[in-house]
Amino acid sequence: MPRMTVNERPVEFALDPATPLLWALRDAANLTGTKYGCGVGDCGACMVMVDGAALRSCLVTIGEAEGRNVVTIEGLSRDRSHPVQQALVAEQAIQCGFCTPGIAIAAAALLARNFAPGEEEIKAAIPNLCRCGVYPRLVRAIERAGRVARREELIAAAPAPGIGVEDAARAVPALGRTESRR
Ligand code: FES
Ligand code: FES
């Protein structure tokens, strides 16, 4: 039963170690912000941070994630105050939003290692597919997130979610398969 830290909580998944991390997060932990797009590593909708690197969670098993630190979109910030979240909203770089969690994770991982990425660096670091075609706004948003991260600009926090993570988790019986110890 693989153990890892998910969004700063120790978690033990009572699942086969070969289970994709994406399935464990979505179906057992009710962290449905991480999206299931292609399931084969092409789209990036499932990206989560694993020890600070943006990885496609459909390609990582929970056995491989054992002992590692996983951050999903729900854990990026509790109040949507991460510079990437603020800038994506401010630049209206979201249409249907399906790709957005994966992009936000990839962008946050980029900014964590480079506070001032240029356009080419952003394009190289964000391989995510967006069927709505937000790419031009995306570059602007991530450049702007860099300015916020460098404290050169302030953006108001994005609107708060209407439901808390704990409230959402309580409503899903599948969470019973996940043991969380604070
Ligand atoms: S669902 Fe993982 S890369 Fe598409
Ligand atoms: S905003 Fe719709 S897929 Fe990217």
pLDDT digits (tens, 9 = 90+) for 154-165: 987 666 666 666
The pLDDT, as a whole number, for residue 80 is: 84
Contact (Cβ atoms closer than 8 angstroms) between residue 157 and residue 79: yes
Which residues pair with residue 56 across a beta bridge? 47
**Is the pLDDT score of 109 beyond 60?**
yes
Question: CB-hemisphere CA count at 13 Å for 131?
Answer: 9
Question: Residue 79: what pLDDT?
Answer: 81
- What is the pLDDT averaged over residues 102-125? 96
Region 57-65: mean pLDDT is 98
> What's the gap in Å between 43 CA and the centre of ligand 1?
5
Ramachandran quadrant class, 126 (left: phi over 0; alpha: psi -120 to 50; beta: rest): beta
- 19 alpha carbon to ligand 2 midpoint, in Å? 27
Q: What pLDDT, on the 0 to 100 scale, is given for residue 176?
A: 46
Examine the pLDDT at 179 and tell me if it is beyond 50: no
Q: Which of 43, 126, 128 to mutate to test the pocket of ligand 1 (most atoms within 8 A of CB)?
A: 43
Q: How confident is the model at residue 158, as a pLDDT?
A: 65
- pLDDT given for residue 78 in this prediction: 80
Q: Which pLDDT does position 159 carry in this prediction?
A: 67
> Which whole number is the average pLDDT over 87-93?
94
Task: Give 14 Cα–ligand 2 centroid separation in angstroms.
Answer: 33
Spacing, Cα 118 to ligand 1 middle (Å): 26
Would the CB of 42 count as within 6 Å of ligand 1?
A: yes
pLDDT digits (tens, 9 = 90+) for 126-155: 999 999 999 999 999 999 999 999 999 998
Positive or negative torsion for Cα 19, 32, 169, 112: positive
Read off the pLDDT band of 81 (50, 70, 90).
confident
Atom of ligand 1 nearest to the CA of 36: 1
Tell whether the model's pLDDT for residue 172 goes beyond 70.
no
Instruction: Decide whether any atom of ligand 1 lies within 6 Å of the 23 Cβ.
Output: no
**pTM (2 decimals)?**
0.87
Which is higher by pLDDT, 88 or 177? 88
pLDDT at 170 exceeding the cut of 70: no
Could you give the CA distance from residue 128 to residue 100 in angstroms, rounded to a whole number? 9
The best mutation among 89, 130, 139 to test binding of ligand 2, ranked by most ligand atoms within 8 Å of the C-beta, falls on 130
